[in-house]
Amino acid sequence: PYGRPLAVPAARKLARELGLELTAVAGSGPHGRIRVEDVRRAAEASAPA
């Protein structure tokens, strides 16, 4: 809803700080709700080795 991925405010903020698009993060909550941990995991996965 609201034309944005379902994510808690802190996850939205962290994604912005890490320069990640929320659409590129897999949410682990109900209905794919994105949590802070999900953003961290996605950031680690996309970080250059």
Partner 1 sequence: MDYEVLVIGSGPGGYHAAIRAAQLGKKTACVEQEYVGGVCLNVGCIPTKALLHVAEDLREAKHAKSYGIDFGEPKVDLKKLEAWKSGVVQKLTGGVRSLLKGNKVDLIEGRATLKDPHTVQVGDRSVTAEKIIVATGSEPIEIPGFETDGERIVNSTGALLVSEVPKRFLAIGGSAIGLEFSDIYHALGSDVTVVELMDEIVPTADRDAAKELRKSFEKRGIKILTSTKALNQKKTADGIEVTLERGGERETLVVDKILVAVGRKPRGTGLGLEEVGVTVERGFVPTNAHMQTNVPHIYAIGDVTKPPLLAHKAMKEGIVAAEHAAGKPAAYDTIVPAVVYTSPELASVGMTEQEAKDAGHKVRVGVFPLAASGRAMTLGVSEGLVKVIGDEETDLLLGFHMVGPAAGDMVAEAALAIEMGATLEDISLTQHAHPTIAESFMEAAEAAHGMAIHVANKRRR
Residues near partner 1, by CB under 8 A: 1-2, 4, 6-9, 12, 16-17, 19, 29-31, 33
Residue 25 half-sphere exposure, CB side, CA atoms within 13 Å?
A: 30
Instruction: Give the nearest distance from C-beta 8 to partner 1 in angstroms.
Output: 5
Instruction: Give the nearest distance from C-beta 29 to partner 1 in angstroms.
Output: 7
Instruction: Give the nearest distance from C-beta 2 to partner 1 in angstroms.
Output: 7
